[in-house]
Amino acid sequence: MSKKIAIILSGPWRYVDKVIDNIDSLIGKDIDYDFFIHLWKEDLGNKKRIEDKYNYERVIFNNHVKNISWEKPNTKEEVSEIYGEWTGCHSTINAMTGMFSSINTTLNVIESIFDRSDYTHVLRIRTDVIFFGKILSKDMLNECIYVSENPLLPKGWISDHIMLAPIEKFKNIWRFSEFDSFIKDFDESERNPEKYLERKIQSLKYDVCINNEHWVRYLDYHIIYNPAKDNDPEFIKNIMMKENGVEKLYAYVLSDADKVEANNIIKYWDRSFKGKVSRRLAKVLRK
């Protein structure tokens, strides 16, 4: 059976037109794929980007775009009124629940089409991602689950930036039958998406494969903030300060010096988390 990927792009519009172009230019020619896109009509989270130039035609008329869903987002107040506003992360409750809801909705779309059995894998990507190099190879279309490596997270937590998995495993991780049952599970993970995904994958006894050639934040991909964040690499900040910085970043090729800087940031956060673990362990031992 030939292998085909359903690429789920979900989130506010942000840079989805540029993400699609970025993927089309870097994904292997031997990879068969379609885009399934879920977009919120507004960005009502607390991480709204400065608006960029939108090119709707590049999305609508792209030959790989199979489906586009538009949905009105819930406000923080609407979600908080029923479920409370607390979260265990930096995002608001409506943004966090919206991420899972949009992916769940898109999986239902895939399930409803007549050629759904053509898709063997799902690749989930945010609408503000840029890849700096080859996205994946055909030998990654196996039974493993591949996830992005985010050095800003403690070891073991599962980043929600990028995930590739066989379609049935992906559905078991992300899909839910009713929202209340999802919220209950989310509460047990302290309303933290990375902890939730870690718990979910562990409970399903799935293997997470590490592929150092792909998806290390700052080195292989980046989450674009506009304006840039304080902890972004200097080469990112310098580009984003320019006029049309987002477009310039999508056209940028990392230099050797950029890769050295990215690796130094990754090593810094690795040492930082190891230090925190050591301090916590010492505190426990002193008790």
DSSP string, 124-174: EEETTEEESS----GGG-SS-EEE-B-TTS-TTPPPSSEEEEEHHHHHHHH
118 shares a domain with 18: yes
pLDDT band at residue 281, thresholds of 50, 70 and 90?
A: very low
Instruction: Look up the domain containing 249 and give its range.
Output: 227-286
Q: Which of 221, 245, 262 is the last residue in one of the domains? A: 221
261 shares a domain with 150: no
CATH of the domain at 180: 3.90.550.10
Q: How large is the average pLDDT for residues 42-66? A: 83
What does the pLDDT look like over 120-149, one tens digit per residue? 999 999 999 999 998 988 999 999 999 999
Within 13 Å of residue 58, how many CA atoms lie on the same side as its CB? 14
Res 272 pLDDT > 90: no
274 shares a domain with 199: no
Q: In angstroms, rounded to a whole number, what is the distance separating the alpha carbons of residues 110 and 36?
A: 8
101 shares a domain with 36: yes
Res 259 pLDDT > 50: yes
Q: What is the DSSP letter of 116?
A: G
Per-residue pLDDT, 276:
56
Query: pTM for the complete prediction?
Result: 0.92
Res 267 pLDDT > 60: yes
Per-residue pLDDT, 274:
63
184 shares a domain with 47: yes
Which of the pair, 281 or 135, is modelled with greater confidence?
135
Per-residue pLDDT, 155:
85
259 shares a domain with 188: no
Q: In angstroms, rounded to a whole number, what is the distance separating the alpha carbons of residues 41 and 34?
A: 22
Per-residue pLDDT, 285:
31
31 shares a domain with 57: yes
55 shares a domain with 77: yes
Q: In angstroms, rounded to a whole number, what is the distance separating the alpha carbons of residues 3 and 150?
A: 28
Res 73 pLDDT > 60: yes
152 shares a domain with 244: no
Any alpha helices (H) in the chain, and if so which ranges? 16-26, 56-60, 76-83, 93-112, 167-174, 179-188, 193-204, 234-240, 245-250, 256-286
Q: How large is the average pLDDT for residues 4-14? A: 96
224 contacts 130 by C-beta, under 8 angstroms: yes
What does the pLDDT look like over 176-206, one tens digit per residue? 999 999 999 999 999 999 999 999 999 999 9
Per-residue pLDDT, 51:
65
Per-residue pLDDT, 211:
65
What does the pLDDT look like over 202-243, one tens digit per residue? 999 998 987 666 799 999 999 999 999 999 999 999 999 998
74 shares a domain with 111: yes
237 shares a domain with 97: no
177 shares a domain with 269: no
Structure tokens at 137: 């190879």
pLDDT band at residue 52, thresholds of 50, 70 and 90?
A: low
Chain centroid to Cα 154, Å, comes to 17
* Tally of domains within the chain: 2
Q: Which of 170, 186, 221 is the last residue in one of the domains? A: 221
Q: Which of 170, 190, 221 is the last residue in one of the domains? A: 221
Nearest to residue 215, comparing CAs of 107, 285, 137?
137
Burial annotation 187-208 (CB, 10 A radius, 16+ → b, else e): eebebbbbbbbbbbbeeeebeb
Res 108 pLDDT > 60: yes
pLDDT band at residue 284, thresholds of 50, 70 and 90?
A: very low
Q: In angstroms, rounded to a whole number, what is the distance separating the alpha carbons of residues 226 and 125?
A: 18
